[in-house]
Amino acid sequence: MHLVTWCSLLVFWFCLAHEGASGLCFQYHHQAELKHYLHWVSKTYPHITHLYSIGQSREGRELWVLVIGQYPKEHQVGIPEARYIGNMHGNEPVGRELLLHLIDLLVSQYGKMKTITSLVNNTRIHILPSMNPDGFEMSVPGACSGVDGRYNKNGVDLNRNFPDLFSINQVTREPETLAVMRWTDMETFILSANLHGGAVVAAYPYDNNMSGKSRYTNSPDDDVFRYLASIYSINHRRMFKGNLCKMSFPGGVVNGASWYTLIGSLQDYGYIWTHCYELTIEVSCCKYPSAERLQFYWAENKKALIQFITHVHLGVKGRVLDDKQNPIANTSVLVTGRDDVMPYKTNQLGEYYKILMPGSYTFRVESPGYVPLMVNIHVKDTSHMYTATIHDFTLHRQIS
């Protein structure tokens, strides 16, 4: 093993021996330390965690994901899936460390803090600390700007590598991108954020438009996205001011395409193709600040990370069942006035989840062989109770 790696691991084990519950220092954790820490958490808290890999990077490093929840190993009906992704750009590693400290907070305070316990009991939270471990290893510590380490080992910007609605993104999908796409297909993710550096702002879809020019480009759920972005911003210690990093973002939020357009972003892909409400959170003016600043960034983002993920419980959820109470998979669940590019479909358990602002909505539920259903639902904000409004639909078979 390389001498630097041995030294880093010695620091890790020193922390483990002297900091009590977690042993997580405010330092940058390279791949070996990240792996050791996640395995340690998984072994120490087996009842609420599950560790797995979604694939490997271009250089063969594992893309580790830690799940935290009351039922960490498999999905349960009625419990929404949420996720955080860090270090998509290798030279923006603050998010990588914030997510490790979020893991530490969730597992160490479970059963101690009421809010943390309720969140973990009612949510299945997936955390991918580093989507681009190869880029991180090539990055230059202390570099506040530049592109060294931004791309993966193949020189590709992973946040330009996903399918795009507005432009034909004819690029070869990188292994990291394909891993995230497969992962997204495997789970019913409802809410997600990927963490970046170089600014301090919460950005939301769309990132692109038909013209390719920078202008506000709203999605069918623009009201929801503006609210979710504001939840992160107002719970961040400074983001809401909107005037950090010599930039101006009113309220600390911005529509992606109004800032600048980009083709093949993760947040547009997640929202359009999988109906996951995805945001891009920029957490530091300096892309790769010194390790001494990490505790400061954790203090700034700690509350926002918790409050944002709690809002996976905003809106309405339920199941589509037949008259014998059997689930109906692949059923279209549409909300009038919100024309999804890809129709929302129930999962194999007949479940649907829609993040919506409080109010009254008309739902249209359709499945081949069944009589279509139109229902008005009044949605309340019950996110503070860690559950969305619950409404099940019953469909009756069509009579020939």
- Alpha-carbon gap, residue 293 to 297, rounded angstroms: 6
Place of tokens 């900091």: 19
Scan for tokens 């996903």, then name that residue: 162
As given in the structure block, the two tokens for residue 374 are 């139109």
d(CA 233, CA 303): 10
Q: Is 282 a catalytic residue?
A: yes
Q: Which of 33, 92, 278, 282 is catalytic?
A: 282
- Please tell me the distance from the alpha carbon of residue 1 to that of residue 136, in angstroms, as a whole number: 18
For residue 15, which of 1, 26, 31, 6 has the smallest C-alpha distance? Answer: 26
Q: What is the DSSP letter of 174?
A: P
Q: What is the CA radius of gyration of the chain?
A: 21
Spatial separation of the C-alpha atoms in residues 26 and 97, rounded to whole Å: 8
- Are residues 106 and 66 in contact, defined by beta-carbon separation less than 8 angstroms? no
* Upper half-sphere CA count for residue 73 (Cβ side, 13 Å): 4
Contact 163, 326 (CB under 8 A): no
**161 phi/psi in degrees, rounded to 5:** -115, 5
**How far apart are alpha carbons 363 and 246 in whole angstroms?**
44
Write out the two tokens for 77. Answer: 């009906």
CB count in 10 Å sphere of residue 142: 11
Q: Cα(219)–Cα(208) distance, rounded to whole angstroms?
A: 11
* Residues whose CB falls within 8 Å of the CB of residue 58, separated by 6 or more in sequence, listed in order: 134, 152, 153, 154, 174, 175, 176
Cα distances (angstroms) measured from residue 233 to each of 124, 195, 196, 216, 308: 23, 13, 14, 19, 9
Residues designated catalytic: 282
